[in-house]
Structure 1
Amino acid sequence: MASDSERATVRTYIPAYQKEQWQAHAEELDMSQSEFVRTMVQAGRSGFEPPEAGSSGATDDGAVEPHSPDATPGGEALKDRVQDILADGDYYEWDDLLAELTDDIEDRLEDALQELQSENEVQYSGRHGGYVRDE
């Protein structure tokens, strides 16, 4: 089993124009190209969602994957998402841009609350008009 600090090489082939774009973006973020690619891959893999409570960080094969440090240095993930949305050249009003960024938050919140209620960790009270931890 590899240690957390052991490094390995990953090689991929991309069009030259894409490499130039990645290099420019990495420079803007004051990152090395390797750090940029690693960060973007990790951000894409996580879907910008925090791990579920109690998650061990285990991969599909059962191995535990260490947390990649600085997955979004300087909080760049949100800025990157905004840039990606605006990349199509269209103008977005504030509400439309906000909707693009929070596209499925309501569904995710509902799913989380239903799961927490089924596990008797949260309950809804109509009398009090809201949710509360069930301790």
Structure 2
Amino acid sequence: MSGDGEVDTSRTVVQTYVPAYQRDLWDDHADRLDMSRSEFVKTMVQAGRREIGDDPDLLPDDDLAAESTEGEGKSLSAEITSLLDDEDALSWDELLAALTDDIEARLDDTLQELQDRNQVRYSGREDGYVLVDES
């Protein structure tokens, strides 16, 4: 966290060591949700922290919802109620899958924009997206 109430949104690497069977379970669950392992772990950790509810550093749910749907004018609460209005009932996994479809589309669009501006490119050698060297 930054001072003066500002949130540091820079990205950083977090690593953990878990038994292979647990990683495999997470990978299977992530695959069912059409998520990467990284996206799955981040989503589950944040969901767990919100569930516990005793971390003063967590943004309030309304702030998280606004952040996750920035520019779309629709809070997470509104998205959930809209989804449930369309269906009789949805499981946690079904809700998560429906909500992550939006982030996948936004990620795809944003990566395309960054590639169009020559800021990011896909590297087969690195097996992922990398920043374009400006030198």
Q: TM-score, normalised by structure 2?
A: 0.39
Q: Which has the higher helix share?
A: 2
Q: Give the TM-score normalised by structure 1.
A: 0.39
Larger Rg: 1
